[in-house]
Amino acid sequence: EALEAQDVTFGDRTKQIETGKLACTELSNGSSMADTTSKVAEDAGISEDKARTLINIAVPAYCTQNSAKLAGN
């Protein structure tokens, strides 16, 4: 629902969750925010702006340990 509220729509709910967790995996594995944004955009077939929004929603939900990486995003 948080994604729909921000007009980030793609796939079904399962795909959205998988993509959010992909972002967390990428960040946890040391990928930069820029690289993670590109990967998420490509995986979901969405713009990089929408990918950033998805990441900003996914990190607090699935990987709070990466919250510091959101600074300035």
pTM: 0.86
Mean pLDDT of 10-29: 92
Q: Report whether pLDDT(6) > 80.
A: no
For 21-32, the pLDDT digits (tens) are: 999 999 999 999
First to last CA, the chain: 21
Q: Which long-range contacts (CB under 8 A, 24 or more apart) does 30-39 make?
A: 33/69, 33/70, 33/73
